[in-house]
């Protein structure tokens, strides 16, 4: 089963929006995905209505107390299984360091039989910290949203450099896809960022699907809904459905 980590070293590029709507789009196909929120800000957990009061009931205790993921997983009102985050996750780096045993902890847990009922989607924070490294080491695919602005592109270039530096450790090229988000044909910058991406990344590693700028997508977290529930006919729903379809057709998911 696929493990997809959504990461960019820049904040506000659409990581959580992408994780949320990928999970929802996968669930629409009749699969039961598992969402893992590795951002101390816990926005993904919030949208799913999964906000544990205690850090012990979040992925924090998986990392710090070695609680099984299944112990902290909750079934959300949208029927998606979710391991929620907690603000205390921001202390994990100083508590655990970045040793090999620490950064492969999530990978080991997810590969234990029976842990994954379906595809896994991990939402990351914008830092290459111990949590994001866990996501990078655990995933089969790193999905990097790039909102159509230059700082988002800078963040994506940082990710590319970090992945290339880690390549000797992985002993293979970690599969990655860059996906344009907040794309707006009317904005010149959208075209410029697209052109720069085309020269910076391998063509086959840039998603054909572009997520367009959409008011409905921006609204949906406020009403704590994914785009398929909030506005199933919107361009946001069309684009995220197309992204799931692209990941299926390129073999990352069945
Ligand atoms: P990140 O997780 O990378 O910090 P978010 O997913 O939280 O980014 O998105 C940042 C902001 O941009 C949010 O307010 C979100 O609603 C908005 N947003 C994300 N994608 C789109 C889109 N395609 N169209 C319009 N607004 C978007
Ligand atoms: Mg986020």
The domain locations on the chain are: 3-249
Which of these, 58, 55, 80, 53, lies nearest to 69 by C-alpha position?
58
Whether 95 is in the pocket of ligand 1, judged by its Cβ within 6 Å, is no
Whether 235 is in the pocket of ligand 1, judged by its Cβ within 6 Å, is no
Q: Tell which CATH architecture fits domain 3-249.
A: 3-Layer(aba) Sandwich (3.40)
CA angle 78, 26, 36 (to 5 degrees): 70
Q: Which ligand 1 atom is nearest residue 213's CA?
A: 24
Atom 19 (ligand 1): residue with closest C-alpha? 14
Q: Give the residues of the chain that fall short of pLDDT 50.
A: none
Atom 15 (ligand 1): residue with closest C-alpha? 218
- Centroid of ligand 2 to alpha carbon of 43 (angstroms): 6
| DSSP assignments along 170-231, one per residue | HTS---EEEEEESB-TT-HHHHHHHHHHHHHS-GGGB-S---B--HHHHHGGGGT--HHHH-
Reported as type and span, the H/E element at residue 123 is strand 120-123
Reported as type and span, the H/E element at residue 81 is strand 81-83
Reported as type and span, the H/E element at residue 105 is helix 105-111
Whether 149 is in the pocket of ligand 1, judged by its Cβ within 6 Å, is no
Give the pLDDT score at 112.
Answer: 85
Residue with tokens 């508590």: 95
Q: Report yes or no on whether pTM surpasses 0.95.
A: yes
Say whether 83 sits in a helix, a strand or coil.
strand
Q: How far is CA 185 from CA 191, 192, 194, 211, 248, in A?
A: 7, 11, 11, 11, 26
Say whether 144 sits in a helix, a strand or coil.
strand
State the SS3 of 6-74: ECCCCCCCCHHHHHHHHHHHHHHCCCCCEEEECCCCCHHHHHCCCCCCCHHHCHHHHHHHCCCHHHHCE
Give the pLDDT score at 115.
Answer: 64
Residue with tokens 């112990």: 71
CB count, 10 Å around CB of 225?
18
Q: From 5, 6, 8, 12, give the residue whose CB has the most ligand 1 atoms within 8 Å, as the site to mutate.
A: 12
Give the pLDDT score at 223.
Answer: 94
- Centroid of ligand 1 to alpha carbon of 68 (angstroms): 31
Atom 4 (ligand 1): residue with closest C-alpha? 12
Residue with tokens 């063509």: 203
Which of these, 45, 135, 126, 28, lies nearest to 85 by C-alpha position?
45
- Antiparallel, parallel or unpaired: β 81-83 and 74-75: antiparallel
């Amino acid at each position: 089963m696929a493990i997809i980590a959504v990461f960019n070293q820049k904040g506000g590029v659409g990581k959580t929006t992408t994780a949320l709507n990928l999970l929802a789009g996968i669930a629409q196909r009749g699969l039961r995905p598992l969402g893992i929120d590795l951002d101390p800000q816990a926005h993904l957990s919030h949208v799913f209505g999964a906000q544990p009061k205690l850090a012990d009931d979040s992925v924090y205790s998986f990392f710090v107390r070695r609680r099984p993921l299944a112990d902290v997983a909750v079934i959300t009102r949208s029927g998606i299984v979710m391991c929620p985050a907690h603000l205390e996750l921001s202390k994990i780096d100083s508590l655990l360091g970045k040793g090999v045993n620490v950064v492969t902890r999530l990978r080991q847990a997810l590969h234990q039989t029976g842990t994954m009922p379906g595809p896994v989607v991990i939402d990351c924070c914008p830092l290459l910290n111990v949590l994001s490294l866990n996501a990078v080491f655990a995933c089969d695919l790193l999905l990097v949203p790039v909102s159509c602005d230059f700082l988002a592109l800078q963040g994506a270039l940082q990710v590319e450099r970090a992945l290339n530096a880690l390549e000797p450790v992985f002993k293979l090229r970690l599969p990655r896809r860059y996906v344009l988000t907040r794309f707006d044909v009317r904005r010149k910058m959208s075209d410029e960022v697209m052109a720069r991406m085309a020269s910076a990344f391998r063509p086959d590693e840039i998603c054909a699907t572009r997520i367009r700028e959409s008011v409905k997508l921006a609204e949906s977290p406020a009403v704590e809904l994914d785009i398929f529930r909030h506005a199933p006919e919107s361009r946001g729903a069309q684009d995220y459905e197309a992204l799931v379809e692209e990941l299926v057709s390129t073999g990352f998911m069945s």
